[in-house]
Structure 1
Amino acid sequence: TPFQEEKIPELLRKHARLELQMRNDIYSTYHLYPPPELSEIKTTVVYPATEKHLRKYLRQEVHLVRETWEDYRNITLPFIQSQSFSLQWVYNILEKKAEADRIIHENPDPRDGFVLVPDFKWNQSQLDDLYLIALVHRRDVKSLRDLTGEHLPLLRNILREGQEAVAERFGVPGSRLRVYLHYQPSYYHLHVHFTALGYEAAGSAAERAHLLADVLDNLALDSRYYQRRALTCALRADEPLLAKFREAGRL
């Protein structure tokens, strides 16, 4: 996990072992062996892991696909509908069967409400890698492609209330947050990512992240914006969806 500034002096002198590797004028390099209390590794365990979980964490080539609305309707949507993506862990949070004590904020409205929880990747011990997820209560919206002007109240609630909750709980203002949706998402239940602006979180690059503020503006201009435009997405070489695009001659 990230080192905190106030811990650096302790890291360099308290029971830490330094081995000099090279010195040249004012420059030196060392191997540092920090004490156990300052060498925490954040670990997430997935057990039992499916083949999909294993593929997610293997290094793979990545390909950019330009998905039109017709591609979504003819390739992506049938693929999603044919898969058995488990969302039970999402429903457990929404129904307070798990992680109820981790909820940072909830708007209970079944149509325009959501739950804000820390992402597994963040241990809440420092703000450098702040990472939270907003999970919507409604279960009929899979991804960015489903969003229309009808969903503007929901999305506005997430942006406004989510930023207010993070500012109140963690002291981080909205101007220091990156609030975005993934496309393609890693799971097909609409969710929004809240990360520290200075944190280069996986999936925050231009080919996958869509800023929520921009999504709101686009839907305000055109209620069916995300059913009209092509979307670029990055797909790993071993993803079955990429194979579907190849079979259709779209790659």
Structure 2
Amino acid sequence: MADHSEKHVTEDDKATPAKMRKLESGDAAEARDNFAGFKLIKVLNENTRNKCIFVHGSFEGSDDDAVVLMEKTPFDKQSISAMLTSTTDLKQVMQNDIYGVYTSSPPPDLNGINTTIIYPATDRHIMKYSAQQIYLINETAEEYQEITLPFIESQPFSLQWVYNILDKKAESDRIIFEDEDTDTGFILLPDMKWDEKLTENLYIIGICHKRGIRSLRDLGREHLPLLNNIAKKGKEAICTKYGVKENQLRVYLHYQPSYYHLHVHFTHVNFDAPGMNIGKAHLLLDVMENIEMQSDYYPKKTFTFTAKEKDPLYLKYKAAGKM
């Protein structure tokens, strides 16, 4: 999806892979053929650069809110020939000498829009996808212990959807690689931001089997075998399946993460992936080197990360007089 993950979010905020197809309760979501009966309440945000829009609405006959994320799909080299035929209608906008400007309407199957429906959506979903001011938080080790960690522990962060993946209760058909070792093993599967068509937009997530590692803050020398294993076998599996070489992959972790179970992001270097900016992404190679130099590097480090103005964690820092 587009750049909608640039902040700390709770598990309920996150449009996780499982949640994109399942209700909050974990029951299978109703499959939809169209938006019949959908009532638009408000456009929450739009990103013209990434050609995406987030809207708030409701379905006829229901009192529940819905959030819809729509993003225009990238061009597919394999279908461009079919697009440049008589099946694509052209409407001229302007002609000046040799330069003609047109609006074009390709066939529907060549002009898709990636759509995610979060339903029923909570107030936090609506807030998450609304346009907000973004701020930087400088989190010292002490502030992590005094503000961030108590906040994490006080929230109803359900990771059941993660455990469903690890236990093969959900999304098992999407797994592209697994190392079953309980200490150093992990599962590799495509992120829902990737439609699995263009390798230049490749986005893969590696979720470790070991539980209890919330984030970078928890990592120490004892976790180096795990991190090395994810880096090595993850790259090999991606190269084998998709032909993307090691030097074409960005491999990194987020801080703050979208959910508090250790996971690693693999993206193609040609893909301008959301969340790869400074203040969010930390290259896995750098993480391992920092730990090798100093085992308690991350428990002691001051992290700088972004948060939106209505983010509950930002409000905690503001209430503590840190903003």
**TM-score w.r.t. structure 2 length?**
0.75
1:42 corresponding residue in structure 2 = 114
Aligned to 2:37: none
How far apart are 1:201 and its partner, in Å?
1.1
Aligned position for 1:20: 92
Tell me how far 1:174 sits from its aligned partner: 1.2
| Residue equivalent to 1:245 | 317
Q: Name the counterpart of 2:181.
A: 109
RMSD: 1.2
Matched, 1:58 2:122: no
Which amino acid in the other structure matches residue 191 of structure 1?
H
Q: Distance in 1 between matches of 2:123 and 2:280?
A: 23
Instruction: Name the aligned partner's letter for residue 165 of structure 1.
Output: A
Residue 47 of structure 1, CA deviation: 2.6
Other-structure match for 2:105:
33
Secondary structure, counterpart of 1:115 in structure 2: strand
Change (3 A) 1:6 1:124: closer
Match for residue 169 of structure 1 among 241, 260, 263: 241
Instruction: Tell whether 2:146 aligns with 1:67.
Output: no
The correspondence of residues 186-197 of structure 1 with structure 2, limited to 5 A, is 186-197=258-269
CA distance in 1, matches of 2:94, 2:230: 51
- Structure 1 segments unaligned to the other structure (5+ residues): none
Once the 2 structures are TM-superposed, how far is the Cα of residue 211 of structure 1 from its aligned partner?
0.6
Structure 2 CA distance, aligned partners of 1:49 and 1:227?
35
Which residue number corresponds to residue 155 of structure 1?
227
Find 1:9's aligned residue among 74, 78, 81: 81
Task: Determine the structure 2 residue equivalent to 1:128.
Answer: 200
Q: As a proportion of its length, which structure holds more strand?
A: 2
How far apart, in 1, do the equivalents of 2:98 and 2:270 lie?
30
Equivalence for 1:224: 296
1:79 Cα deviation from its structure 2 partner: 0.3
| Pairwise CA distance, 1:109 | 0.8
1:84 corresponding residue in structure 2? 156
When normalised by structure 1's length, the TM-score is: 0.96
Aligned residues between the structures: 251
Instruction: Identify the structure with the greater helix proportion.
Output: 1
Percent identical among aligned pairs is 51
Partners in 1 of 2:167 and 2:267 — Cα distance?
Answer: 24
Structure 2 residue matching 1:70: 3-state secondary structure:
helix
- Partner residue in 2 for 1:146: 218
Q: Which residue of 2 aligns with 1:184?
A: 256
CA–CA separation in structure 2 for the residues paired with 1:217 and 1:241: 29
